[in-house]
């Protein structure tokens, strides 16, 4: 795993805008092709196998939580417990997810968390870095089968009628949502896209409706379940008026409380880090994480007598404590970076990686995206 310095292509911004990647320079610098990461094919095999293994263990962890009825430790509202359980027992359709891993190319990749409900970074991971590869390293390969696998996974969805797509009013979310909608269209579905704020409830017909009062039979929501189940009309969802993607059982998998469960079930697994609900049980450096947290907010790293902390609005539901596995640091003397690998899952298959860089050990929404390639 080598970080290489490169010269950015001329006109890449226009190319990406034509592809729907309009937020390529959000916060000043997001997509960053001044660098690229080079892997060997053996390293890619390691990442692929780690992703598959972690996903399968995570599914076993969900089954354990459901069988034991451990919803309270995940701060899931009690009225939704039965829906989570039914969703899992019925094996409701799931499209995708993303592991965040710490790895420097040697040893075993370590799971930091599983963004299993509303992961973003799809356009850059799937489309943008593939076009970059064709222009810059056309004779090499990339761990990236996201597009094809998303289309194939949509074909397994047995929902009838239109699939509605909804998200918050954010350029990045809208870009990711539009891309996912495109993969559903390519899989043969009729679709409609709008904002989550445009959804409503029709009392007379007991239906979930869009902003044109059209009934919603299938809803892909790029909007976290922990927010959705606390919205004003959330109790109507208990009637299960629509097929929702991602399904309710993802409330377990996208919650940091899954990390101690994984460690309980698979202690000393090479891809896992010790994780507990009590800090004192970890020997050495550790990270304090809220059960529900996004974009690196409210994370505290306690390492070698120092504390690195990010502010935010999370933590009310509680915290877990995970052994500290620092992301590898690459330093060319110009732009040093700590690197995090996002490993994608589509259905039950590994589907590629996306790499984020930050000057800090905590990956945030302002962290840069850097492309990759591999050689035999």
Task: Kindly report the three-state secondary structure assignment for every residue of 14-78.
Answer: HHHHHCCCCCCCCCCCCECCCEEEEEEHHHHHHHHHHHHHHHHHHHHHHHHHHHHCCHHHHCCCH
Three-state DSSP class for residue 271: coil
Kindly state the percentage of the chain with pLDDT values over 70. 100
CB of 194 closer than 8 Å to CB of 173: no
pLDDT band at 27 (very low <50, low <70, confident <90, very high): confident
Q: Report the distance separating Cα 86 and Cα 89, nearest Å.
A: 5
pTM of the full structure: 0.96
pLDDT band at 255 (very low <50, low <70, confident <90, very high): very high
Q: Report the distance separating Cα 289 and Cα 351, nearest Å.
A: 27
CB atoms near residue 315 (< 10 Å):
17
Task: Please state the three-class secondary structure of 185-240 as a single string.
Answer: HHCCCCEEEEEHHHCEEECCCCEEECCCCCECCEEEEECCHHHHCCCCCHHHHHHC
**pLDDT of the residue at 231:** 86
Three-state DSSP class for residue 306: strand
**pLDDT of the residue at 87:** 97
List of residues 6+ apart from 45 with CB closer than 8 A: none
Partners of 219 in the beta sheet? 164, 244
Kindly state the percentage of the chain with pLDDT values over 90. 90
DSSP secondary structure letter of residue 161:
S
CB of 121 closer than 8 Å to CB of 98: yes
Q: Report the distance separating Cα 275 and Cα 324, nearest Å.
A: 10
Q: Is the pLDDT of residue 293 over 90?
A: no
Q: Report the distance separating Cα 35 and Cα 56, nearest Å.
A: 33
Q: Is the pLDDT of residue 233 over 90?
A: no
Q: Is the pLDDT of residue 8 over 90?
A: yes
Q: Report the distance separating Cα 114 and Cα 291, nearest Å.
A: 12
What ranges do the domains of the chain cover?
2-255+329-375
Task: Looking at 90-138, list the stretches that DSSP marks H as alpha helix, in order from N- to C-terminal side.
Answer: 122-123, 129-136
Q: Report the distance separating Cα 9 and Cα 14, nearest Å.
A: 11
């Amino acid at each position: 795993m080598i970080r290489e310095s490169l010269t950015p292509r001329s006109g890449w911004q226009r190319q990406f805008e034509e592809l729907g990647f309009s937020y390529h320079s959000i916060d000043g610098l997001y997509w960053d092709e001044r660098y690229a990461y080079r892997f060997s094919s053996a390293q890619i095999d390691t990442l692929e196998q780690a992703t598959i293994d972690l996903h399968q263990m995570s599914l076993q962890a969900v089954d354990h939580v459901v069988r034991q009825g451990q919803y309270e430790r995940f701060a899931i509202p009690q009225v939704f417990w039965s829906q989570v359980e039914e969703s899992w027992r019925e094996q409701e359709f799931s499209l995708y997810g993303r592991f965040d891993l710490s790895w420097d190319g040697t040893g075993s990749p370590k799971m930091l968390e599983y963004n299993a409900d509303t992961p973003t970074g799809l356009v850059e991971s799937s489309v943008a870095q593939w076009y970059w590869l064709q222009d810059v390293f056309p004779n090499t390969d990339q761990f990236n089968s996201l597009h094809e696998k998303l289309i194939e996974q949509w074909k397994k969805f047995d929902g009838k009628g239109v699939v509605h797509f909804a998200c918050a009013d954010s350029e990045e979310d809208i870009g990711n949502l539009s891309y996912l909608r495109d993969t559903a269209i390519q899989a043969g579905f009729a679709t409609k896209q709008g904002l989550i704020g445009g959804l409503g409830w029709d009392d007379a017909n007991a239906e979930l409706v869009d902003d044109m009062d059209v009934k919603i039979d299938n809803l892909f929501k790029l909007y976290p379940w922990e927010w959705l189940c606390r919205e004003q009309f959330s109790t109507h969802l208990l009637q299960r008026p629509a097929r929702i993607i991602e399904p309710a059982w993802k409330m377990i998998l996208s919650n940091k409380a899954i990390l101690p469960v994984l460690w309980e079930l698979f202690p000393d697994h090479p891809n896992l880090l010790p994780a507990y609900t009590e800090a004192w049980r970890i020997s050495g450096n550790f990270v304090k994480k809220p059960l529900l947290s996004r974009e690196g907010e409210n994370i505290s790293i306690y390492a070698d007598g120092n504390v690195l902390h990010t502010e935010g609005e999370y933590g009310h539901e509680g915290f877990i404590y995970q052994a500290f596995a620092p992301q590898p640091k690459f330093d060319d003397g110009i732009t040093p970076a700590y690197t995090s690998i996002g490993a994608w899952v589509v259905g039950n298959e590994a589907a590629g990686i996306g790499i984020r860089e930050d000057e800090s050990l905590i990956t945030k929404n302002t962290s840069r995206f850097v492309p990759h390639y591999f050689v035999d």
